[in-house]
Amino acid sequence: MRIALFGRTGQVATEVQRRAPDGVTVRAIGREEADFTDPDSVQRAAQQVEAHAVVNAAAYTAVDRAEAEERRQRY
Amino acid sequence: MKILVTGGAGFIGSAVVRQAVRAGHEVVNLDALTYAANLANVAQVSNAPGYAFEKADIADRQRIDEILARHRPDAILHLAAESHVDRSIDGPAAFVRTNIEGTYALLEAARAYWSAEKRPERFRFHHVSTDEVYGSLGPSGMFTEDTPYDPRSPYSATKAASDHLVRAWHETYGLPVLLSNCSNNYGPFHFPEKLIPVVILNALHGKPIPVYCAGENVRDWLYVEDHADALLTVLEAGEVGRSYNIGGENEARNIDLIRTICGLLDARRPGAAPHDRLIEFVEDRPGHDMRYAIDPSRIREELGWRPSVTLEEGLARTVDWYLENEDWWRPLLDVALERRGTSA
């Protein structure tokens, strides 16, 4: 089984990659490959992996900074 | 009061604009004039003193900043939205953009304006939303303001997201917001892609009246003029940070509603009776919510508001309006006959 994992360097994404069981290939996709502000780039990245499942672990999580920079928080 | 109404050329927005102007408010009507907007909806008041129109997109932050600074409204009544569930199934992107990103941009513009004006206590940002954010009901129960959010269509999901943003801007930045969630509206100037005008216009043209599934779905119908009155009541008397459900106290199964409209047309156009012979059962909308019903206790008890017309009265007025206003709907007719929402 191949999983396209959006988010690569974050806390959750890192742990998902580390704990993937045998038989499960996790392909982590970082923001330089799939820009969440550009839906086409996300679709291309997921297609390249030919994934059976998509896990979205990409998010903007710093609440205090989100209050100052709402624009990025949306993606 | 000077009210900036977004979506004021739309169906509900234009009813608000007409009533607000007649009530003596100054009104800035801000509308992007996308497909369902129509300035003919506000022609009755467009020469009134204190009325102004601004063609603008709520997602265009610079334009909104400029309009707020120039008009300096006391309140923003936010109705601009993509609203047709079937269209949201075929193309959700426009709903995400306008309903979520547009509301976000408008909130930020409102916050900047409100801060620049030294945070006036009386300022209000009133966000108009739908009962569809609460999901679907079974045969019993009603939506209260405390019903957990459970949106099920792309449309209602984007409206739910915008509601959450508005609450967050109140809790986080102190913006004085109000929210209201209404049931299904109907009445004059209803764009002919929604159920009631589709039924009226198809029946008038001897075309099939499409009924999703068996017409068992139940909606709580709110006459648009009553809704506009309720919105102005909430805007003037609502408690900051609070949500108000607005319903018509008029639950009906779609099939019964459609047969009532057919009966009204039979009485007015007996030559073409019975109109209900045109009813045609078609494939259901994907994810079609079974029942919506509003518990109107809060707005009734706290603000003393109740709807003024029954469903029968409102439908009769609506049918008569369509019969008398062919020049309004004639150019929109092609839209009424197109089936949408089947691409899921």
* Domains within chain B, CATH numbers bracketed: 2-186+220-249+291-308 (3.40.50.720)
A67: nearest CA partner in chain B: B172
pLDDT band at A35 (very low <50, low <70, confident <90, very high): confident
Q: What is the pLDDT of residues B69-80, one digit of tens each?
A: 999 999 999 999
Task: Write the ipTM.
Answer: 0.75
Helices first, then strands: H and E counts in chain B: 13, 13
- Segment (H or E) for B204: helix B195-204
Contact B186, B196 (CB under 8 A): yes
Q: B278 or B336, which is more confident?
A: B278
pLDDT band at A74 (very low <50, low <70, confident <90, very high): very low
Where does residue B242 rank: exposed (0-12), middle (13-18), buried (19+ CB within 10 A)? middle
The mean per-residue pLDDT over the stretch A26-44 comes to 89
| Cβ–Cβ gap A70/B108 under 8 Å | yes
How close B70 comes to chain A (CA, Å)?
Answer: 25
Q: B284 or B316, which is more confident?
A: B316
B186 interfacial to chain A (CB closer than 8 Å): no
Closest to B104 (Cβ–Cβ): which among A39, A67, A70? A70
Q: What is the pLDDT of residues B99-145, one digit of tens each?
A: 999 999 999 999 999 999 999 999 999 999 999 999 999 999 999 99
Complete DSSP assignment for B118-177: T--TT-EEEEEEEGGGG----SS--B-TTSPP---SHHHHHHHHHHHHHHHHHHHH---E
Q: What is the pLDDT of residue A75?
A: 42
Q: What distance in Å separates the CA atoms of residue A67 and residue B165, rounded to the nearest whole number?
A: 12
| Cβ–Cβ gap B104/A67 under 8 Å | no
